Structure 1
Amino acid sequence: MKKLVLSILFVTTLAFIAFQIKPIKDTTKTIISSVKPVSLINSDGLTIKTRVQTPKGFKRVTYPKGSFQEYLRNYKLKAYGSKIINYDGSEYYWQRGHIGILDIPVPKNGLQQCADALIRVRSEYLWDTNRKDDIGFNFTSGHYCSWIKYAEGYRPKINGNKVSFHKTANKDDSKANFYRYLNLIYTYSGTLSLYHELPKIGDVKNLRIGDMLIIGGSPGHIVIICDESTNEKGDKLYMLFQGNTPAQSVHLVKNLEDHTISPWYHLEKGAIIPVSNYTFYDSKFVRFK
């Protein structure tokens, strides 16, 4: 009987202790899931600058009015939620890597791919600011083709890697002819020619709006810095937009690796930098002349 009483007391004691030390409910997941990331997107904004706010502690770097930097920062965007459209009118299969579509027409001829889109933006800036003499690019062969000579009627004769220019057309400095010139550049230039032609940026501390992250090749890829912000420590953040292959809507990309600052990016030379649906390895930067 004594053993029975002791057994009952022992079991009762164990039950009481077990009740007292039952596992505490894990609320960590609930707390984490309830914390929403701060959105930097203003869906009503219709320019790059007004579409995206700076992260806490950062402010935009100031550039002169009329500069290429301010031109890019204030580039017009289509309504928020607009989709990336291919040159043939179809929707691009990947619609989750952008937060804005630039108001740039996409030719139906299939040209104006990644490098071409940036060539167009740069050329239109030079046209709009009456710097037409500065519009010109190298072919992949290394031969320079300027808008001024094209407008005068000079056209390239291409035989393999040999290129010569001959006057075969009447003078025409119209905007329509300017876009025909750009189609020629799109055909014979690209990331490889830009990489060899343009000045390299050795120190990322010198990066600014208008500089480009590039892999020169066939295929290669290129994106352009379109906004810049800094904090009191001198840390820099950048935004990027790109064209793509196939030719499609030029778009402002998300930062899919760091949602806390997206669409802003930290940029480093030689780093692996994922940009939307492309990854840059051993990153290098160039600048328009």
Structure 2
Amino acid sequence: MKKIYITLFLLIVLFLVLNQTVTGKMVVSYIKGSVSNISKDSDYIDKNGDLISTRVTVPSGYKRVSYKKGSFGEYLRNYPLKPYGSKIINYDNSEYFAQNWHDAILEIPVPENGLQQCADALMRIRSEYLWLHNRKDEIGFNFTSGHYCSWIKYAEGYRPKIQGNKVTFHKTSSADYSKSNFYKYLNLIYTYAGTLSMSHELRKVAVSDVKIGDMLVKPGSPGHIEIIVDEIINEEGHKMYLLAQGNTPAQSVCLLKNFENTSISPWYQFNEYEAVYTPSYYFDEARFIRFK
């Protein structure tokens, strides 16, 4: 009987080993929805770089796709970073359990209220870009109910009255266009909008047309969403991209490593209808959406 148990144990161990992908110094185990790993350092990281564009170098034969000065793409590509080695910190100032998923931490504060989760962090990035470029009248998002909530109306003093799926707006506050009130508005958006509302509201983009600022999305409640923050191309027209994400619980926004293809990490390649594996999430299809 003991021999039977030992044989079964050895078969189980063999099965687990054969179901692991070994690449260089890295072992990756896939579970739908997450990836656990032991990873090596990337060949394309400059530890002294303090922007996305200076932290991540370009593989031989590639160059960065040109973006117009003042564009959202240029803004993301040159987003400031915390010093190399900074950790992913949760909203309550605790350390996230996985500290080997990222090559950079973006300089985005994490509110202590815990509201700024994956989709929220990306809406914040977009809103701050529009604010900085004096395009405040473009700041606005749909609630999950489908009702549009703009910064301008909020600043004028209008607040939502929510009863189930019915939302009406009423002027209940004095006008306040300050930056501090802007972040109160974002807290409202974080509460009533998210991955599901964004996937319904925003335009779908084919993989062949994706660019910096487009978001890899798995609609749902919960679902997940990540944003492209850089783009490179070679002479054959093949492109690669960088991905960043916020997460749940609310935490630091980080630039993700590529555990699926460590030879190009942290760069990613996408193919229509094919799954995308990122360190914290499995996307069963490469689906993208774009901010208005």
- Global fold match (TM > 0.5): yes
Aligned to 2:282: 279
Among residues 98, 101, 109, which one is paired with 1:97 in the alignment? 101
Percent of aligned positions with the same letter in both sequences?
65
SS at match of 2:203: coil
Task: Give the TM-score normalised by structure 1.
Answer: 0.86
Q: How does 1:226-237 map to 2 (within 5 A)?
A: 226-237=229-240
1:230-282 per-position Cα deviation (integer Å, ceiling 9, x unaligned): 00000000001000000000000000111111000001232111111111112
In 1, the alpha carbon distance for the partners of 2:93 and 2:149 equals 31
1:203-248 per-position Cα deviation (integer Å, ceiling 9, x unaligned): 3121100000001111000000000000000000000100000000
C-alpha distance 64-161 of structure 1, shift in aligned 2 (>3 A): same
Q: Give, as a single letter, the amino acid of the residue that structure 2 aligns with 1:188.
A: Y
SS at match of 1:121: helix
In 2, the alpha carbon distance for the partners of 1:282 and 1:69 equals 24
SS at match of 2:204: coil
Pairwise CA distance, 1:129: 0.1
Greater fraction strand: 2
Aligned to 1:241: 244
In 2, the alpha carbon distance for the partners of 1:172 and 1:123 equals 17
1:165 pairs with 2:169 = yes
Q: Give, as a single letter, the amino acid of the residue that structure 2 aligns with 1:227.
A: D
C-alpha distance 37-224 of structure 1, shift in aligned 2 (>3 A): closer
Root mean square deviation, CA, Å: 1.3
1:150 pairs with 2:158 = no
Instruction: Check conservation: 1:37, 1:260, Cα contact below 8 A.
Output: no
Aligned to 1:223: 226
Among residues 201, 204, 212, which one is paired with 1:200 in the alignment? 204
Larger Rg: 1
SS at match of 2:177: coil
C-alpha distance 142-55 of structure 1, shift in aligned 2 (>3 A): same
Q: Give, as a single letter, the amino acid of the residue that structure 2 aligns with 1:54.
A: V
In 1, the alpha carbon distance for the partners of 2:91 and 2:272 equals 33
Instruction: Check conservation: 2:207, 2:287, Cα contact below 8 A.
Output: no
Aligned to 1:266: 269
Aligned to 1:5: none
In 1, the alpha carbon distance for the partners of 2:194 and 2:42 equals 38
Aligned to 1:12: none
SS at match of 1:59: strand
Instruction: Check conservation: 2:121, 2:246, Cα contact below 8 A.
Output: yes
Instruction: Check conservation: 1:269, 1:285, Cα contact below 8 A.
Output: no
Among residues 120, 131, 136, which one is paired with 2:135 in the alignment? 131
Aligned to 1:43: 47
Q: How does 1:48-63 map to 2 (within 5 A)?
A: 48-63=52-67
In 1, the alpha carbon distance for the partners of 2:223 and 2:270 equals 19
Aligned to 1:183: 187
Instruction: Check conservation: 2:207, 2:286, Cα contact below 8 A.
Output: no
Instruction: Check conservation: 2:141, 2:193, Cα contact below 8 A.
Output: yes
In 2, the alpha carbon distance for the partners of 1:175 and 1:131 equals 14
1:168-209 per-position Cα deviation (integer Å, ceiling 9, x unaligned): 0000000000000000000000000000000001x3121100
Pairwise CA distance, 1:37: 8.5
Aligned to 2:35: none
1:141 pairs with 2:137 = no
Aligned to 1:9: none
In 2, the alpha carbon distance for the partners of 1:257 and 1:251 equals 18
Pairwise CA distance, 1:140: 0.1
1:113 pairs with 2:109 = no
Pairwise CA distance, 1:38: 7.0
